[in-house]
């Protein structure tokens, strides 16, 4: 079975500052990893994913995450955040084989202040 731990429940940050949202996972098999974002009163949207290949993956709005197999981590980073990045971010894991069930972390609430 897989599990996901998001190490910070809330991350406050000032606009234009860098941010890192931490995610660790556990699994006895190979995994796919995902970051989803949830804006207030909305459903979840896929931000980025790691399936295979390059361990550094990027989103269209400047976020990136790096898959680190030895540390079983998939931390999300952005070098300069905007007010509009205020949202809740969820890390999720799925076994690369077998059925498509996602296991979600508890979420990290990112609050960007002016």
Partner 1 sequence: NAGVTQTPKFQVLKTGQSMTLQCAQDMNHNSMYWYRQDPGMGLRLIYYSASEGTTDKGEVPNGYNVSRLNKREFSLRLESAAPSQTSVYFCASLAGAYNEQFFGPGTRLTVL
CB 87 within 8 A of CB 22: no
If you count DSSP H runs as helices and E runs as strands, how many of each does the chain have, helices first?
0, 12
Q: What tokens does 2 get?
A: 């897989």
Asked if residues 107 and 89 have their Cβ atoms less than 8 Å apart, the reply is yes
Choose one: 20-28, 40-48, 53-61, 73-81; the region binding partner 1 (CB under 8 A).
40-48
Give the per-residue contact string, 48-77, with partner 1 (x = CB under 8 A; - = no). Answer: -x-x--------------------------
Nearer to partner 1 (CB atom), residue 55 or residue 80:
55
CB of 15 to partner 1, least distance (A): 26
Which positions touch partner 1 (CB under 8 A)?
Answer: 4, 6, 9, 32, 36, 42-46, 49, 51, 90, 94, 99-102, 104-107
């Amino acid at each position: 079975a897989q599990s996901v731990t998001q190490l910070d429940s809330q991350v406050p940050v000032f606009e234009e500052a860098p941010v890192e949202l931490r995610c660790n996972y556990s699994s006895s098999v190979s995994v796919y990893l995902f970051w989803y974002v949830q804006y207030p009163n909305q459903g979840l949207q896929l931000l980025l994913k790691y399936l295979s290949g390059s361990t550094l993956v990027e989103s269209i709005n400047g976020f990136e995450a790096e898959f680190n197999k030895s540390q079983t981590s998939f931390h999300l980073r952005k070098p300069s955040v905007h007010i509009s990045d205020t949202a809740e971010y969820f890390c999720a894991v799925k076994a690369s084989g077998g059925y498509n069930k996602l296991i979600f972390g508890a979420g990290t609430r990112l609050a960007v202040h002016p």
